[in-house]
Amino acid sequence: MDEHMKDVRIIGFPISLGSGKMGTELGPNALRYSGLVKNLETIGLHVEDQGDIGVDNGNDPRSARNAKNLSKILKYDKLLSERVSNALTRDKFPLILGGDHSMAIGSLAGLSDYANKKCGVIYFDAHADFNTPQTTTTGNVHGMPLALASGQYEDSGEMMLQTAYADPKKIVVIGARSIDKREYELMAEAGVQVFTAEDIEREGISNITGKAIKIASRGGTPVHVSVDVDVIDPAFVHGTGTPVLGGLVTREMKLALSDIHKSGAMNSFEIAEVNPSLDKNNMTVAIALELTLTALGKKTYESLL
């Protein structure tokens, strides 16, 4: 995000169609109620809350078992892409509140349409989200957005998936620790870079983040940053539907997002998979709020020295 880009537009996307369970549709308002707008204004940003895109989260009984609710999800992702592109056209920084991670298709489509080129992606997640309807073991679309948005499923018949919005060679997944075998093979073939939780332990989060920024923004490519709260260890984050042991801690995520903000490479940001119905003591929402504020410029103690 360029320093001159002080105007933020909040876009709520209360979707749970891609996750196989309800609760993530409560995420956008949970973040609002936690004081998101006030805190963003406190760090010097001008904030416009555009409200939520209306989503009917009732399952589509006609959908295929290996791509549940796909057509319905893409209908709403199309609306999200239009809102993201519109915000950027008006020099507003898109802050997208999810919602399950199928939202990333719409976010990437909006940035790509605005920039008229494929995006780079820095994607914090316990999972790689690079399955397709051919490789999935669950049929849940929130495990597919990076593959679908980068053109790995062209035979779907869905118009929105006939275009690739992200360059797979500029996609970087950070914090992954649950990747399916066929998914991993597809990622390797496409050229996606994955830094696992073990890589972070060995190399340190700053080194990993630095590499991610260079890969995703190579050649001046616009960059979308996406955070699934399950990237953090479930010892701290209870309010998410697909927890995986061995995750990052909050201070690592804050450092990573602070480094990304300082780089100026980020053009849009989303926070996904906050499920308040599973939360304890509102801790997941509090962490999601802190990560969002850090990504948009809240300074840490270290940066004030």
Q: Is 4 a catalytic residue?
A: no
Among residues 228, 233, 252, 279, which one is catalytic? Answer: 228
Closest CA to 242 of 47, 133, 101: 101
Q: Is 142 a catalytic residue?
A: yes
Among residues 125, 167, 252, 279, which one is catalytic? Answer: 125
Write the CB contacts of 247 (distance below 8 Å, at least 6 apart in sequence). Answer: 126, 175, 177, 197, 230, 231, 232, 233, 234, 237
Q: One digit per residue, pLDDT tens: the chain, 305 residues?
A: 555 468 999 999 999 999 999 999 999 999 999 999 999 999 999 999 999 999 999 999 999 999 999 999 999 999 999 999 999 999 999 999 999 999 999 999 999 999 999 999 999 999 999 999 999 999 999 999 999 999 998 776 898 999 999 999 999 999 999 999 999 999 999 999 999 999 999 999 999 999 999 999 999 999 999 999 999 999 999 999 999 999 999 999 999 999 999 999 999 999 999 999 999 999 999 999 999 999 999 986 544 44
Q: Is 273 a catalytic residue?
A: yes
Q: Is 167 a catalytic residue?
A: no
Residue 22 DSSP SS3? coil
Using a cut of 0.85, tell me whether the model's pTM lies above it: yes
Q: Is 261 a catalytic residue?
A: no
Q: Is 233 a catalytic residue?
A: no
Q: Where do the domains of the chain lie, and which CATH numbers do they carry?
A: 7-304 (3.40.800.10)
Closest CA to 18 of 124, 140, 123, 190: 140
Separation of CA 268 from chain center: 10
Q: Is 180 a catalytic residue?
A: no
d(CA 11, CA 49): 7
Q: Is 125 a catalytic residue?
A: yes
Confirm if 35 and 289 have CB atoms less than 8 A apart.
Answer: yes
Residue 15 DSSP SS3? coil
Among residues 100, 127, 180, 261, which one is catalytic? Answer: 127
Among residues 25, 113, 129, 180, which one is catalytic? Answer: 129
